[in-house]
Structure 1
Amino acid sequence: MEAGGWAGSRAAAGAVSGAGRRDRGQSDERWGRGLGRLRARAEGSAETPAARPGFPHSGGRRPESQPSADPGGRPPLRRVHYKQRTDAPTTSHDPTVAPIMPPLLMLLLAALAPALSHAAAGGGAGFYDPARVTQISWCPRAFLYSGFLSHAECDHLIKLAKGRLEKSMVADNESGKSVMSQVRTSSGTFLSKREDEIISGIEKRVAAWTFLPEENAESMQVLHYEVGQKYDAHFDYFSDKKNIKRGGHRVATVLMYLTDVKKGGETVFPIAEGRDLQHKDETWSECARHGLAVKPRKGDALLFFSLHVNATTDRSSLHASCPVVEGEKWSATKWIHVRSFDNPPDVMADTRCSDANEQCPRWAALGECYKNAKYMVGTKDTLGSCRKSCGVCDA
Structure 2
Amino acid sequence: MSNAQTVTPELRRWIVEQAQAGHPPQSVLQAMLASGWREDVAIEALEATLEQHLDADAVQRGLPPAVPVPEPDLAESPLHLDAGDRRVHVLNAMFNPRVVVFGNLLSADECEALIEAAKPRLARSLTVETRTGGQEVNDDRTSSGMFFTRGEFDVVRRIEERIAKLVNWPVENGEGLQILHYRPGAEYKPHYDYFDPAEPGTPTILKRGGQRVATLVMYLREPEKGGGTTFPDIHMEVAPVRGNAVFFSYERPHPTTRTLHGGAPVIAGEKWIATKWLREREFS
What band does the TM-score fall into relative to the shorter chain? 0.5 to 0.7
Give % identity: 39
Quote the residue 1:39 is aligned against.
Answer: none
Instruction: Please list, as runs of the form range in 1=range in 2, the aligned pairs for 1:140-151 lying within 5 A after superposition.
Output: 140-151=97-108
Letter in 2 for 1:156: A
Matched, 1:126 2:126: no
| Aligned residue among 146, 150, 153 for 1:193 | 150
Query: TM-score, normalized by length of structure 2?
Result: 0.66
Query: 1 CA distance for matches of 2:86 and 2:97?
Result: 22
Contact in 2 for aligned 1:127/1:208 (Cα 8 Å): no
2:242 counterpart SS class: coil
Contact in 2 for aligned 1:260/1:298 (Cα 8 Å): yes
Query: 2 CA distance for matches of 1:335 and 1:258?
Result: 17
| Aligned residue among 160, 176, 186 for 1:219 | 176
Matched, 1:324 2:281: no
Quote the residue 1:271 is aligned against.
Answer: 233
Contact in 1 for aligned 2:87/2:104 (Cα 8 Å): no
2:159 counterpart SS class: helix
Quote the residue 1:79 is aligned against.
Answer: none
Report the structure number with the largest CA radius of gyration. 1
Query: 2 CA distance for matches of 1:294 and 1:144?
Result: 8
2:105 counterpart SS class: coil
Q: CA deviation at 1:312?
A: 6.7
Query: 2 CA distance for matches of 1:241 and 1:265?
Result: 33
| Aligned residue among 248, 257, 269 for 2:219 | 257
| Aligned residue among 253, 275, 278 for 1:333 | 275
Letter in 2 for 1:197: D
What is the number of residues matched between the two proteins? Answer: 200
Quote the residue 1:43 is aligned against.
Answer: none
Query: TM-score, normalized by length of structure 1?
Result: 0.48
1:252 counterpart SS class: strand
Greater RCO (CA < 8 Å, at least 6 residues apart):
2
Quote the RMSD (CA, aligned, Å).
Answer: 2.1
- Richer in strand (by share): 2
1:155 counterpart SS class: helix
Letter in 2 for 1:154: C
Matched, 1:184 2:157: no
Structure 1: give runs of 5+ residues left out of the alignment. Answer: 1-122, 276-291, 343-395
Query: 2 CA distance for matches of 1:293 and 1:312?
Result: 21
Contact in 2 for aligned 1:216/1:338 (Cα 8 Å): yes
Query: 1 CA distance for matches of 2:182 and 2:265?
Result: 8
Q: CA deviation at 1:124?
A: 9.5
Q: CA deviation at 1:149?
A: 0.2
Runs of 4+ with >4 A deviation: 311-314
| Aligned residue among 229, 250, 266 for 1:306 | 250
Contact in 2 for aligned 1:146/1:300 (Cα 8 Å): yes
Query: 2 CA distance for matches of 1:242 and 1:172?
Result: 11
CA pair 255-213 structure 1, distance change in 2 beyond 3 A: same
Matched, 1:248 2:210: yes
CA pair 226-124 structure 1, distance change in 2 beyond 3 A: farther
Q: CA deviation at 1:125?
A: 7.4
Letter in 2 for 1:207: A
Contact in 2 for aligned 1:126/1:201 (Cα 8 Å): no
1:193 counterpart SS class: coil
Contact in 2 for aligned 1:237/1:313 (Cα 8 Å): no
Letter in 1 for 2:259: S
